[in-house]
Chain A
Amino acid sequence: QSVLTQPPSASGTPGQRVTISCSGSSSNIGSNTVNWYQQLPGTAPKLLIYSNNQRPSGVPDRFSGSKSGTSASLAISGLQSEDEADYYCAAWDDSLNVHYVFGTGTKVTVL
């Protein structure tokens, strides 16, 4: 059971802006940076955002990340059909045995 909570689903029409939340606690998001991953159907996850709001080379600037306190969010502006995928937030958790944790995941549907 993940300690990072995301909404199970989100949707929008092409061109719209979609936002996905990621709620954690002081031992994870509250004290570490947040990363986001995109998993297209049937493929391996891909790094989308790192260190809260940084985009790796090649990731469109339609994707943006932010963090405040013990929560983070991913925004997709100008939604496109190819953005239909599962999205996961992730961060280190410093409670007891330090380990990396993923969020519960959000399925984004383009209507």
Chain B
Amino acid sequence: EVQLVQSGAEVKKPGESLKISCKGSGYSFTSYWIGWVRQMPGKGLEWMGIIYPGDSDTRYSPSFQGQVTISADKSISTAYLQWSSLKASDTAMYYCARHVGNPEYCGGDCFPDYWGQGTLVTVSS
């Protein structure tokens, strides 16, 4: 059974750094892209970017390029989403999602299929 288990809720202050995680199991972690999706309170879904754990190839949405860092540790089947300096506007639920499709290039027919349970990040002074 494919499972993505995310780290717990976080409460941080503006300016602080943060790294949240997503551990995959039940499938070959290095053979699928894995990405992150933001959902701000009461709002819709926003795709942030993806990483291919097999070779750490990473792509970002233009809206999130330079704002966050996506990484992965294939030795422990875990993907990460990281901020160096949080803002109040980063308050949101963050979901990781496995992407199924061409391992060499995620586009066109590549799409999120399995999702993590979400990590709530609250940034407040």
Determine the distance from Cα of A20 to Cα of B37 in the docked complex, in whole angstroms. 22
Given A47-B112, A47-B113, also A102-B45 (CB < 8 A): yes
Which B-chain residue is minimally distant from A104 (CB atoms)? Answer: B44
A105 interfacial by beta-carbon distance below 8 Å: yes
Judging by beta carbons under 8 Å apart, are B65 and A97 in contact? yes
Closest Cβ of chain B: how far from A33's Cβ, in Å?
Answer: 6
Specify which of A39, A90, A105 is in contact with B111 (CB 8 Å cutoff): A90
Contacting pair B115 A50 (CB below 8 A): no
Q: Which of B37, B44, B59, B112 has the most CB of A within 10 A?
A: B44
Interface residue ranges of A76-97 to B (CB < 8 Å): 86, 88, 90, 92, 94, 96-97
Given contacts A88-B44, A98-B107, contact A44 B62 (CB under 8 A): no
Nearest A residue to B113 by beta-carbon distance? A47
Cβ-closest chain B residue relative to A47: B113
Contact status A37-B45, CB under 8 Å = yes
How many residues of chain B are within 8 Å of chain A by beta carbon? 27
Give the docked Cα–Cα distance between A105 and B109 (Å).
Answer: 21
Q: Is B11 an interface residue (CB 8 A)?
A: no
A100 touches B47 (CB 8 A): yes
- The residues in B between 66 and 117 inclusive whose CB is less than 8 angstroms from any CB of A are 95, 97, 107-117
What are 21 of the A-B contact pairs (CB < 8 Å)?
A: A33-B108, A33-B111, A35-B112, A37-B45, A39-B45, A44-B115, A44-B117, A45-B112, A47-B112, A56-B113, A86-B44, A88-B45, A90-B111, A97-B62, A97-B65, A98-B59, A100-B47, A102-B37, A102-B45, A102-B46, A104-B44
